[in-house]
Structure 1
C-alpha cells in the first residue's frame, strides 16, 4: 500500500515538474492571426488591381482598377496601426522560448521573424509614400485618411512603385517560408510550434 502511494506521489510530482507546452498569450495570437488575414487579403487585392487591371483599356476596367486599388489601400493601411501596436506589445511581452532545435535553426527562426517585422513595416510605408508622391489620398478602412508621406513628387513615383512591388513579393516569400517551416515542425518534427499559436490552445 505504501509502495503504491509512493509511486503515485512520484508520478504526480513528475507531472507537476513537466515543462508546459509552448504557448503564446491571447493578445499575441490575436495580432498574429488578424495581421496574417489582412496581409493575405490585401496582397491578393493589390495584385489583382495592380497587375491584372489597367487604366485606359475601357471605362469598366478603369473603374474596376480604381475600385481594387482603393480597397487595397483601405485594407492595407490598417497594418500601419496594427504593426505599431504589435511592436509595442512585443517590447513588453517576450515570446515563449523556442523548443529544442539545432542552433542554426534557431538563428534562421529569429532571422525569419525579424524579416517579417521589417517587411510588415516597409511594405505599407512604401505604399503610403508611393500614393503620396502620386498625389493620391491614403484612406484607412473607409473611416478616415492619413496625411501624405512627403509632398507630391511624380518623378519619384516610378521608383516607389518598383520598391513597393519588390517589397510586397519579398513579404509573400517570407510569409510562405514561415508557413512552410511551421508545417515542417508540425508534420516532420512533430513539436508544438503550430499549437503554440492556435487560439484553442489556452494558457493555463
Structure 2
C-alpha cells in the first residue's frame, strides 16, 4: 500500500508577491513607455508646424519620464531575483527549460540595455534625464553631438528587439495557459482564492 505522502499533491507553482509586483509593474511601464516613444519618435516630426513640434517634444519628455522608471525597477527586480529563486520549471522538457532561461536572460538584458541606451542618447544630446517629473538623474556622458545619431540608432534597434521579445514572451505565456494548460502563467497571476 502506498503511503499518504506519495499521493499528496505538490504545492502549486507560485512566484512571490514581490516578484509579481516587479513583473506586472515593469510590464506596464515598458509597454506605456514603448508606445509613447514610438508615437513621439516615428509618428511626429519636427518642423511640420508648431503644434506638431510641441506634441513631439511633449511625447519625448513623457516617454523619458516614464521610461527612466525601468532603471530603478530593474535594479530592484535583479536584486530580488538574485536573492529569491524562481519556482522550478518542472512541467516542460529540458530543452524548453533551457530555451525559457535563455529567453528570460535576453529579456533581462534588454530591460537594462534599452533604458541605458536612451539615457546615453539623451546625455550625448545635452538633455536632462528626468524621472516621473520629480528629479533628474546624472548624465552618463558629456554632450557629444557627433555620437548622438549612433546612440539614437542603437536605442531604436534595442527598443524593437525588446518589443519582439516581449511579444514572444506573451505568446508563450498564452500557449502555456490555453494549450498546455499548465501552471507556467498562473504562477505569475494573483493567487486564486480556494
TM-score by shorter chain over 0.5: yes
Equivalent residue, structure 2, for 1:160: 151
Equivalent residue, structure 2, for 1:120: 111
**Alpha-carbon spacing, 1:74–1:94, altered in 2? closer, same or farther (3 Å):** same
In 2, are the aligned partners of 1:22 and 1:193 still within 8 Å (CA)?
yes
| Cα distance in 1 between the residues matched to 2:99 and 2:6 | 33
| Cα distance in 2 between the residues matched to 1:111 and 1:193 | 16
Return structure 1 stretches of 4+ with deviation > 3 angstroms: 12-15
Instruction: Provide Cα deviations, 1:90-144, integer angstroms capped at 9, x if missing partner.
Output: 1100001002212211111001100110000000000000000000110000000
Gap regions ≥5 residues in structure 2: none
The one of 25, 31, 34 aligned to 1:40: 31
Answer with 1 or 2: which has the greater Rg. Answer: 1
The one of 76, 79, 97 aligned to 1:88: 79
Aligned residues, how many? 194
Alignment of 1:29-178 (within 5 A): 29-178=20-169
The one of 165, 175, 180 aligned to 1:184: 175
User: Structure 1-normalised TM-score?
Assistant: 0.91
Instruction: Provide Cα deviations, 1:68-105, integer angstroms capped at 9, x if missing partner.
Output: 00000000001001100110111100001002212211
Gap regions ≥5 residues in structure 1: 1-5
| Cα distance in 1 between the residues matched to 2:147 and 2:167 | 31
| Cα distance in 1 between the residues matched to 2:90 and 2:181 | 12
CA RMSD of aligned residues (A): 1.8
